[in-house]
Chain A
Amino acid sequence: MTSLSLELDLSLSINIQLSFEGVSFDKFNLNIKQDLSLQGITGIFGHSGSGKSTLLRAIAGLEKEIDGTIVLNDTSLIDNKKKCFIKAEHRNIGLVFQDSRLFPHLNVLDNLKFAAKRCKNRRLNFNEIIELTELGSLLHKHVNDLSGGQKQRVALARAILAEPELLLLDEPLSALDRQAKTSLLKLVLKIQNELQLPMLYVSHSLDELQQVCDKLLVLSQGKVIGYDGIHPMIHQLNHTQDNIAQTNDFIHQQTSLSLPIKTLDNGHGLATLTLSEHDEIYLPVLDENSTEKTLRCFILASDISISLTEPINSSIVNHLFAKISTISTMKNKVLITALCKKDDGEQEFFINISAFSQQKLALKINQGVYLQFKASAVRTYLY
């Protein structure tokens, strides 16, 4: 299916301002100036009211009261000064909505045909997309008879069949249960791999984005607060305070990792990832049928503890030697970063301990310690 490849290199340049006079809440301002290189999946993360969905709707062409410019691959989608506004239906951008929005008067097949009929390129093969999205058995079902996960699969297939240059996903999983989330995330990755279709993925769930995104754009109160590769961006957010609720952290502090899979099942209920020649990370068994070579996972800072001596007499299977690089105290909580040796450099880990523990252990920068965490603390969505 490699012949199905769509556009490879895309760039999106955004410089927009938007003000809403909300009825029930204060004036909402969106003020974004950002260039994005659209390879793979770019996540847009923010809490509710951060403007992430509005940004997506602006790119889609569904938000009309906008000042500024949006340029996709040298084509102006919006340019106020030149009075240019390309309508949504002429932008060649796809959008998967949170609520599917399948046409209730059409069955699954006709919903898909609605998109294919209006597509100008016709480079994709209709049947191959049905196979890719595993919709073969649902084609003649009425859309109201589908489960939430099935609806989103149809919505995804329908969006792809319009052969957009860029696919936007607006909280596509938020109405689904865990199992449906996992299978749809896998499908999103599969589509990205096979079609090389650039995607912008909006979500308020960092767990979801961590699993599939290559890059992450973070918004807060209508402004960009960061844009970087997925792991470095999440690690930056560990140090970010929430401006709205001063006491809370912006995210659950965590270590975000992509590591090579060594074994899917070591025969004792655990899988292993390679951190370095000497160190492995244990986690619960992975799907035996997986062909993936690397695994995206994260470990919450609150799930890692610190020991001054190697905890060999413990049921906790993961213990790694690391050197403390920073210690920051915020109220009664201490955030420690520590570096572990990796074959190609160092891996940063984030650990939360209480001020009480810090007082007891008197940890210092550059001190060598053991990080310990259970196999079940290594979290991943895709298995």
Chain B
Amino acid sequence: MINPDLLALLTTLKMAALTTIILLIIGTPLAWYLAKMRSRFKVIIEAIVALPLVLPPTVLGFYLLIAFSPQHLPGQLWQQATGQQLAFSFSAIVIGSVLYSMPFVVQPLQKAFEQLGEPLLEAGAMLGANAMDRFFNIVFPITKASFITAASLGFAHTVGEFGVILMIGGNIPGETRVLSIALFDHVEAFDYAKAHILAISLLAGSMVLLASIYLLNSPRKKAIKRIGK
């Protein structure tokens, strides 16, 4: 049988990877829409997106747990569609993570899109490039660093999640038992040696990931790349 901590690592990576992909797919148009939005409702949407930054994860987890339960509509619909219960499933922790890590992906992208502004997009339009063409051939290559930052922050934050998962996922090995929960288990069982291994790997992993983002975005690196061309 596979080592339970290794299984927790695999579950964590799977959850974080899936969450990051989903966040890039829905977060990009959302960030674009917010960057271009002039309506006064903009602040309300921005506040909703930013809520997970300030809200205790248990609050979000609590409401999600209620929503996901078979007694309520979202949970019922899910059960009818898939035949499985949503609460305490892998899908539930992915949905929870998507909501919880949303600001880490949307905010850097929105900022990049706002900074890019209209000028280069107008230039593209005047050369016959339509909206999709402009996005993939002007916006994306210029804001690539922000996409990498957004994806890395989203991924790292999802890996480090605890409260939401504990509320809606529980502790099912191979399904919802992620590293942070496994760590908590070891501490509860006074198995500090195993706890240390998990804690230090989470710490090191996050450190490496963040350092790579900052290295990628540092002006020195850009200058080196420029000269290299």
Residues of A within 8 A of B (CB): 60-62, 87-90, 92-95, 97, 99, 101-105, 107, 114-115, 118-120, 142, 158-159, 162
Contacts and interface: CB of A to CB of B under 8 A. Distances in A.
Given A105-B141, A114-B137, A60 B119 contact: no
Nearest to B128: A118
Given A104-B142, A142-B226, A142-B229, A162 B123 contact: no
B217 interface: no
A114 B133 CA distance: 11
B125 interface: yes
A107 B228 CA distance: 13
Interface residues of B, number: 18
A162 B129 CA distance: 10
Nearest to A140: B229
Interface in B129-147: 129-130, 133, 137-138, 141-142
B45 interface: no
A255 B17 CA distance: 72
Contacts of A119: 128
A168 to B, nearest CB: 8
B21 interface: no
Give the residue among B125, B126, B129 with the most A Cβ atoms within 10 A.
Answer: B126
A88 B123 contact: no
Contact of A88 (B119, B125, B133, B229): B125
A90 B131 CA distance: 12
Given A142-B226, A142-B229, A97 B125 contact: no
Contact of B122 (A62, A102, A158): A62
Given A89-B129, A142-B226, A142-B229, A97 B141 contact: no
B127 interface: yes
Give the residue among B123, B129, B138, B142 with the most A Cβ atoms within 10 A.
Answer: B123
B215 interface: no
B47 interface: no
Nearest to A100: B123
A137 B141 CA distance: 25
